Amino acid sequence: MYVCICYAVTEDDVRGCLAQGACTAREVRAACGMKPGCGACTKRLYGLIRQYGTEADDERRTVRPTAA
């Protein structure tokens, strides 16, 4: 699904940028080649960043160190 149809940026593009270390909407926009956008794509972008952070937190909580 498109996050920004103007610059053809998809949710997968955004997740890829987040996985490569982008942390903020500004960083994701720069990495994906998006200019500061309209309100609609900005909302979708913030939603994806929040979702990605929650998923990463969940992953960290489920990973348990193993005894050596």
* Residues in contact with ligand FES by the rule CB under 6 A: 4-7, 37-38, 40-41
CB 44, min distance to ligand FES, A: 8
SS3 state at 68: coil
The least distance separating ligand FES from the CB of residue 64, rounded to whole angstroms, comes to: 41
Closer to ligand FES by Cβ: residue 5 or 23: 5
User: Which residue shows structure tokens 């050596």?
Assistant: 68
Q: Cβ atoms within 10 A of the Cβ of 53, count?
A: 12
Nearer to ligand FES, 43 or 59 (CB): 43
* Beta strands, E only, 1-68: 2-4, 9-10
